[in-house]
Amino acid sequence: MTARTITQLAHELREGSTTPRRLLDNALAHAEAAEPSLHAYLALTRELAERQADEAGRMLERDPDGASPLCGVPMALKDVLCVDGVETTAGSRILSGWKPPYTGTAVQRLFDAGAVCVGKTNCDEFAMGSSTENSAFGPAGNPWDVERVPGGSSGGSAATVAAGTVPYALGSDTGGSIRQPASLSGVVGFKPTYGRVSRYGLIAFASSLDQIGPLTRSVEDAAIVYAAIAGGDPRDSTCDPRPLGDPLETLGRGVEGLRLGVPREYMGEGIDPDVRARVEEAMAVLEGLGASLREVSLPTTHAGLSTYYIIAPAECSSNLARYDGVRFGLREDDPSLTEMYLRTRDRGFGVEVKRRVMLGTYALSSGYYDAYYRKAQKVRTVIAEEFARVFEDVDALVSPTSPSVAFTMGDRDDPLSMYMCDVVTLPVNLAGLPGISVPCGFSPELPVGLQVIAPRFEDARVFQVAHAYEQATEWHTSQSPLAATAA
């Protein structure tokens, strides 16, 4: 199933040239062959997948036209997404062996549509990282060069799509964790407007920033998956109930007459010159398609990283307080309750999680709250207002997704240089905007991604711009060396 998209597989399933069971067998065989070098999965869910494939076969037989395009198509889930009775670890030792008693809303919507879940994908522990090296169960590789990282934290999801095992996977994005691995792995990655997709059943990292979204091989596929998972949910009070409309409606409209802004601060210092060159070429393509480009300024970008690294750790230190050895997960027994907490959390959490819990606890602690947390919340307002002002003059923004291409494992061992990976994606989370990464070339043989950002709830405009660019170029048809081995 090399490089075939959801749309193509949906067509093949209906014309009878394949079956859900055959697609599943191919996906599992390919996953098993690729795993020794890739480690994209923490677990394959063969039994669940076989049940789902058989049910999808019946759904397609009953009503081929009425069935979702996702019916019978194999997929994978980042291991921060809860599935009833299926081990879900968030890449952490503290949740090793934990089986959630319920399925999250976004996942359930895919299952109801007939999706076939092949497995749970590798990720940075509790989604904290930009390389998947922080997984407690070992890093994942990049299908373009397995010595390099696939990005993160949704690195396993990006890797398995780029390897040609499945046409799509779900990830989660708190500061770039869908878009950055998509960029580094040469696939499409979409982070919806904050509040569009229910977070019920997503293991929480930073609740005011987290969103679930798809990693796919095409922009159309991203829109198809988004349409299936988005929309109000009474189980998540931050999930917006306003009507979704048809996210696919704008595909094919082109960009003629659209005003695209290029944030000066996203193209300057810290961006690899080769990455900048690829993105400038992409901008020229969009201009050739009739969009008008202009430079804009988001002057507080320089403080975005600092703002994020107060707010996200603060929220994570609070969210991760629940891992106390009492209700679920690891417990290191001790007669003293306090000692039990200390030992359980010391043993269960990896070093990056400890670092962020420490940073967040410090920022929230008495005497530092105003200087750090309250200040960061105010700067967040400034950053969001700058976006809002820029969007008075332009319809969308275009920029690089990541300052660099995929780096070699072990190359970024100091925390701050790893944090810099997300410098042009995390402001989008701070402002709650929709953003996508779409392949835009290579440097020299590693993928580069173009980021498109739109105002809140204009997710369809993100698809419109990204789709126009994708259809005018061939990058999305390039296959990683590992995809070439797919059945």
Known catalytic residues are: 78, 153, 177
CA distances from 418 to 133, 152, 205, 284, 485 (A): 11, 10, 18, 30, 32
Task: Report the distance separating Cα 237 and Cα 359, nearest Å.
Answer: 27
In the complex, the smallest distance separating the C-beta of residue 128 from other proteins, rounded to whole angstroms, is 13
- The 325-364 site mask, x for binding other proteins (CB under 8 A), equals xxxxxxx-xxxxxxxxxxx-xx--x-x--xx-xxx-xx--
Burial 207-238 (b: 16+ CB within 10 A, else e): ebbbbbbbbbbbbbbbbbbbbbbbbbbeebee
CA distances from 244 to 249, 400, 435 (A): 11, 28, 17
Determine which residue in the list 7, 292, 306, 471 makes contact with other proteins, applying CB under 8 A: 306
CA distances from 77 to 217, 271, 469 (A): 16, 31, 27
Measured from the CB atom, is 18 or 377 closer to other proteins? 377
Residue 243 lies near other proteins (rule: CB under 8 A): no
Measured from the CB atom, is 429 or 479 closer to other proteins? 429
Measured from the CB atom, is 12 or 240 closer to other proteins? 240
Of 101-160, binders to other proteins (CB under 8 A) are 101-102
Residue 236 gets which letter from DSSP?
A: -
Measured from the CB atom, is 139 or 432 closer to other proteins? 432
- The 392-431 site mask, x for binding other proteins (CB under 8 A), equals ----------------------xxx--x----------xx
> Do 168 and 6 contact (CB within 8 A), yes or no?
yes
Residue 370 lies near other proteins (rule: CB under 8 A): no
CA-based diameter of the chain, in Å? 70
In the complex, the smallest distance separating the C-beta of residue 238 from other proteins, rounded to whole angstroms, is 5
Identify the residue whose tokens are 């207002």: 385
Determine which residue in the list 317, 319, 425, 464 makes contact with other proteins, applying CB under 8 A: 317
CA atoms within 13 A on the CB side of 288: 11
In the complex, the smallest distance separating the C-beta of residue 267 from other proteins, rounded to whole angstroms, is 20
Of 54-93, binders to other proteins (CB under 8 A) are none
Determine which residue in the list 287, 385, 411, 445 makes contact with other proteins, applying CB under 8 A: 385
In the complex, the smallest distance separating the C-beta of residue 453 from other proteins, rounded to whole angstroms, is 14
Residue 474 lies near other proteins (rule: CB under 8 A): no
